[in-house]
Structure 1
Amino acid sequence: MIVLLPFACGLGYSSIAQTAPPEAEAGFSKFAVATVHPLASDAAHAAYARGGNAVDAAVAAALTLGVVDGHNSGIGGGCFLVIRAADGSLTAIDGRETAPAKAHRDMYLIGGKLDDEASKTGALAPAVPGALRAYELALKKHGRLSLADLLRPAADLAEKGFPIDEVYARKLKATAEKLRRFPSSAALFLKPDGSPWQEGETLVQTDLAKTYRALADQGLDWFYGGPFAQQTEAWMKENGGLLSTADFSGYRAIEREPIRASYRGYDLVCMPPPSSGGVHVAQILNILEQFPVRHFKASSRIHVVTEAMKLAFADRAHWLGDPDFVPVPRGLVTQEYARELAAKIDLDHTTAVPAHGMPPHWEGDVFGKHTTHLCTADAEGNWVALNQTINTAFGSKVVIPGTGVLLNNEMDDFAVQPGVPNAFKLVGAEANAIAPGKRPLSSMSPTLVFKDGQPILTVGAAGGPTIITQTLLLISHVIDDGMGPNAALKEPRFHHQWNPDELKIESQVPAEVLQQLEQMGHQLAPSPSFGACQAILKDTQRNLLIPAHDPRVPGKASGQ
């Protein structure tokens, strides 16, 4: 039986929540940043010191992460940005990759059989990168510095080199065998004897430095249709790929209308499709608002949140896709639909979710046509949530010769065949089928939270589909439990994505809680840890910005 407690801070088994409300955490009056790498956070500070604002700082950090965290993101991939500018305007920028013009829904059927590796590794895996166009649009609308101003310091770092951290070394070791298939990739990421670089050793990226400088000197047309696109097309033709110069020339970043939602008196601004993140962060929080989760004991809270996750991910598998190609119902984020879904949750036992739900007005009311997250905010009122990715570790494993640019493998984020799981075990339906120029579905969830019209929180995460659940858990801990962001990030995580039917949960959860969850019917999949979430919270009492980076990974949260 579910148990209501007078007050349960956090999940009810952490002492952190009792001792670290926002006022207990360090804050800054002018500027704050949180990223997964100290050098990226330093780049954000440098941009701010040169007269930039939080938008300039975010782009500087993103470009630097493409150098020092290139296994996760870079200019060979894509991104989403949600921005609240100092003038109060809101911008959601879609820099998601697009399928090549020659792509088709059966492109991974080889001899009548699905080649599920071809969408992950090699020439058929990349989609057209969009990150640079998105950065350019963000700076044009709300920045003070030029893209060239931000590219050159990152180029210097690539040329000088940087010491590989533990995460980079671990992912490089795990991916080395696939990187060896491509001479230009092996030459960059592996030693002459074919072994991967080790933690603490210096990685120098001379070709990437030249690419960054060419972009700074010649503009983005050098990349989108110029020498880079031409070199990419030549390599693709030699290796059976589809990307062409015309694909690059035709790429456009899109400004979309953000999703607006609410949770217990707070307002949320989220990324719309082709991100599924904004839709389902809002949808799950809408469901949770029907329950007093703040007062549940640990197992009861995890149970109810998990059941809400299951319902949302079932909808994700059926309804979500690129809104320029398929109708994505707005009804998914309505309170009316949330109440309908909440009524399906049994407070004491798991409930089977055989299929997706039917949101109201699904026929006509639709949205208009491996990863890293970073956050920045400044005293002027500029707030940024930026998610960027090349998908799985080292993307397609393909470095275009002479450029140092590692291409994404975002084609695997499509439903390569309806019902067939991708690298993250996610399944998709017709809404996310491959089509020329289409943008694959993403879980990236850059989110801003407002109170009384003013921004108080920017948050997002990395980690495939767990991005959605990490983001909503952070929001819940801050709003429901009154926790500071650093304390909230230390709370144990859990994740359910409907298929497979298992509850991924961090092993620091006490054994008795795990046992109670099993008794409720959950199939547990314990994990030492997962994800990487970053956040900045405004402490309105002290008028300070509190940055927080995930303690599970290297990173740096700082400010001034």
Structure 2
Amino acid sequence: MKVLAILVLLLPSALLAADASFPKHAIATVHPLATQAGMQAFEKGGNAIDAAIAAGLTLGVVDGHNSGIGGGCFFVIHAADGTVTCIDGREMAPAKAHRDMYIINGKLDNEASKTGSLASGIPGYLKACQTAQSKHGRLKLADVLLPAAEIAEKGFPIDEVYARKLAATASKLARFPASAAIFLKDGKPLQKGQQLIQTDLANTYREVAKNGIGWFYGGEYARKTAEWMQANGGIMTVEDFAGYKAPERAAIRSKYRGYDLITMPPPSSGGVHVAQILNILEHFPIRHFRASSRVHVITEAMKLAFADRAYWLGDPDFAPVPRGLVDPAYAAELAKKIDLDHTTAVPSHNMPPHWEGDIFGKHTTFLCTADAEGNWVALNQTINTAFGSKVVIPGTGVLLNDEMDDFAVQPGVPNAFKLVGAEANAVAPGKRPLSSMSPTIVLKDGKPVIVTGAAGGPTIITQALLLLTHIIDDGMLPEEALAQPRFHHQWNPDELKIEKTFGAETLAQVRAFGHKLAESESFGACQAISFDAGRQLFFPAHDPRVPGSAEGK
């Protein structure tokens, strides 16, 4: 899975004064052109929902290795009237998918779920955008599609991140002629600063703008995709596209130190486990811990949550996902398992209360927007790993996702991110794979004050919760919070991914607790927007680890 934060209310205005501030609206994304597209949507009279969709569609052009209309998304929206909408645009397995589809010639083919014709689920991105915009937006889909089409047609210089990911995947992209024609020149990947022109993608955007999303779901795009799949061993059909739905789901609601969290329910595991880990941390005064002790306690909470993720989490339309995972009483029991002085083995999942019956109703990028009317949007979108399945359907310019790898291709077998899953996340026709995307909005006294999410596979969950702890526990501003060193533990493998910027002394102290460290230069990407309610000002910020842009007016 390859998919913000809006802050705070109770911070002193003097501390906020150094940051750029805006009274009307704000946006933060991982690319300046996407941020600019969102600002243009605001200028056309659109609100935060329109701006988020405009930015997201533009990211599908300029950050297409991470997301696009060939993939999926989750929206968490707090509308101006106070209503909350969670839209599930996650990809669905084709009707011909089955549990053992990656057992090929009697052996598990680990590559088939990541690359090629069997790697993709039915994209949900456009359907989710239409649902969000028709319910809460002011503009039409065509209003935000056409400017993105113009960028695709004219081209743009690729940045360092794009060039690096392109170089890493060039050999796989070369296997598919339509992909190679776009991303390679004379058989070699485009370099930083070279112009990327996507004429077919521009035409696809324009066809959707002219004819509506039916052109994509069941129309010409679906027909071209089905024909390519049939010729290349795939199983997607026109009927799969025509039958796709982007349902609205009831938000997960939880609390942390006097704040109310609203986040995405399954098939997102992110919302469940951000809430679960924060529920555990409520029992510890982490703001008073030294750095190494804080890392240790939060890591132990991460391990407990990810062990539960591996067993319990899946598509709620197919698997019973217990609501008890976010029960404060369950978190209190888990908190008792944490030894403040040493690591504790977590051999398996735990048993949340009422697991038998109380269940949830049936490479990634992240962006956020907010406006003075009270519309707040957290949008995670993805095609999974870099360049998804590596397949561009000829004549469309659309990169298809490789989200089938987010299923447990066989229960207990790790995916591209070394995550394991059980039967709850096994492949089944029409099923949605588990995701780590964690778009979250936080309220104080009933008003939105923080919205957060991230990009980076399973580290999405831990980035989001770390950002929240720095803001809520430490009183940091978004820019400062985003700059803090990060760490991540996902239970399996039993290792702590941790940024070297903690410093040698702290790393040695963390190791002394018993943790096996996997040191990293940096990882992940969050975007943020803060809000000073007293002065009615937005303060956007973007993650310093990656190129990005934050603006407002």
Say whether the fold is shared (TM-score over 0.5): yes
Match of 2:182 among 184, 188, 207: 188
Q: For residues 452 and 263 of structure 1, do their structure 2 counterparts lie closer, same or farther at Cα, with a shift above 3 Å needed?
A: same
- Whole-Å Cα distance in 2 between the matches of residues 539 and 452 of structure 1? 14
Distance, in Å, in 2 between the alignment partners of 1:541 and 1:18 is: 9
- Is 1:387 matched with 2:377? no
- Given residue 134 of structure 2, which amino acid in structure 1 is its aligned partner? K
Aligned ranges for residues 104-253 of structure 1 at < 5 Å?
104-191=98-185, 193-253=186-246
Q: Paired residue for 1:342, among 320, 335, 356?
A: 335
Contact 1:350 1:520 (C-alpha < 8 Å) held by counterparts: yes
2:32 is aligned to: 38
Instruction: Supply the AA of the counterpart residue of 1:475.
Output: L
**Residue 480 (structure 2) pairs with residue 505 (structure 1):** no
| Conservation of the 8 A alpha-carbon contact between 1:373 and 1:385 | yes
Structure 1 unmatched ranges of 5 or more: 1-16
Q: For each residue in 1:399-441, what CA deviation from the matched residue of structure 2 results, as whole angstroms up to 9, or x when unmatched?
A: 0000000000000000000000000000000000000000000
What aligned pairs does 1:397-412 form with structure 2 within 5 A after superposition?
397-412=390-405
Q: Which amino acid aligns with 1:487?
A: E
Q: Distance in 2 between matches of 1:413 and 1:21?
A: 42
Name the residue aligned to 2:6. none
Q: Secondary structure at the match of 2:417?
A: coil
Distance 1:329 1:463, change over 3 A: same
Alignment-mate amino acid for residue 535 of structure 2: R
The aligned residue for residue 463 of structure 1 is: 456
Separation in 2, partners of 1:515, 1:399: 46
Gaps (5+ residues) in structure 2? 1-10
Q: Does 1:90 align with 2:98?
A: no
Of 459, 462, 466, 1:473 maps to 466
The amino acid across from 2:488 in the alignment is H
Tell me the SS of whatever aligns to 1:350: coil
Q: Name 1:4's counterpart in structure 2.
A: none
Partner Cα distance (2:15, 2:356) in 1: 45
C-alpha separation in 2, matches of 1:351 and 1:25: 42
How far has the Cα of 1:25 moved from its partner?
Answer: 2.4
Q: How does 1:244-323 map to 2 (within 5 A)?
A: 244-323=237-316
Correspondence for 1:417: 410
1:514 is matched with which residue? 507
User: CA–CA distance in 2 between the matches of 1:525 and 1:22?
Assistant: 35
The CA distance in 2 between the partners of 1:544 and 1:262, in whole Å, is 25
- Tell me the SS of whatever aligns to 2:538: strand
Distance 1:77 1:116 in 2: 21
Distance in 2 (CA, whole Å) between partners of 1:79 and 1:91 is 14
Matching of residue 554 in structure 1 with residue 547 in structure 2: yes
Three-state SS of the structure 2 residue aligned to 1:307 is helix
After superposition, give the CA deviation of every residue in 1:270-324 in whole Å (9 maximum; x if it has no partner): 0000000000000000000000001000000000000000000000000000000
Write out per-residue CA displacement over residues 159-218 of structure 1, whole angstroms, 9 at most, x where no aligned residue. Answer: 010110000000000000000000000001000x10011111110000000000000000
CA shift for structure 1 position 26: 2.2
2:528 maps to which of 529, 535, 541: 535
Deviations 1:10-43 (A, max 9, x none): xxxxxxx999954442221101000000000000
Partners of 2:166 and 2:14 lie apart in 1 by 36
Partner of 1:27: 21
Give 1:537 deviation, angstroms: 1.9
Change (3 A) 1:247 1:497: same
From 74, 79, 103, the counterpart of 1:80: 74
Which amino acid in the other structure matches residue 417 of structure 2? F
- Please state if 1:324 is matched with 2:348: no
CA contact (8 A) 2:13 2:532 kept: no
Say which SS state the counterpart of residue 445 (structure 1) adopts: coil
Q: Offset at 1:510?
A: 1.2
* Residue type at the aligned position of 1:424: F
Number of the residue aligned with 1:5? none
Q: Structure 1 283/136 Cα, relative in aligned 2: closer, same or farther at 3 Å?
A: same
* Percent identity over paired residues: 73
Specify whether residues 19 and 256 from structure 1 end up closer, same or farther in structure 2 by C-alpha distance, changes over 3 A only: closer
Query: Tell me, what secondary structure is at the counterpart of 1:318?
Result: helix
Q: Which residue in 2 is equivalent to 1:13?
A: none
- Give 3-state SS (helix, strand or coil) of 1:546's partner: strand
SS for the counterpart of 2:540 is strand
Q: Distance in 2 between matches of 1:510 and 1:251?
A: 49
Instruction: For 2:466 and 2:510, locate their aligned partners in 1 and report how far apart those are by CA, in whole Å.
Output: 18
Amino acid at match of 1:241: G
TM-score by length of 2: 0.97
Q: Which residue of 1 aligns with 2:5?
A: none
Match of residue 101 from structure 1: 95
What is the alpha-carbon distance in structure 1 between the residues aligned to residue 354 and residue 529 of structure 2?
Answer: 36
Q: Distance in 1 between matches of 2:534 and 2:265?
A: 32
Give the secondary-structure state (helix, strand or coil) at the position aligned to 2:132.
helix
Number of residue pairs the alignment of both structures matches: 543
Given the alignment of the two structures, is residue 48 of structure 1 paired with residue 55 of structure 2, yes or no? no
Residues of 2 paired with 1:427 and 1:19: CA distance?
45
User: What is residue 61 of structure 1 aligned with on the other side?
Assistant: 55
> Given residue 539 of structure 2, which amino acid in structure 1 is its aligned partner?
I
The answer to whether structure 1 residue 352 and structure 2 residue 325 are counterparts is: no
Secondary structure, aligned partner of 1:373: strand
Hey, what's the Cα distance between the residues in 2 that align with 1:19 and 1:399?
A: 49
Choose 507-516 or 93-102, whichever is displaced more.
Answer: 507-516
Q: Does the 8 Å contact 2:253/2:263 carry over to 1?
A: yes
Contact 2:439 2:452 (C-alpha < 8 Å) held by counterparts = yes
Q: What is the letter of the counterpart of residue 497 of structure 1?
A: Q
Q: State the alpha-carbon separation in 2 of the partners of residues 59 and 19 from structure 1.
A: 31
Any idea what SS the aligned residue of 1:440 has?
Answer: coil
Cα pair 1:274 1:320 within 8 Å, conserved: yes
Cα shift at 1:490? 0.2
- Once the two structures are superposed, residues 476-517 of structure 1 have per-residue CA deviations (whole angstroms, 9 ceiling, x without a partner) of 100000111011000000000000000000011111111111
1:14 alignment partner in structure 2: none
**C-alpha distance in 1 between matches for 2:306 and 2:162:** 30
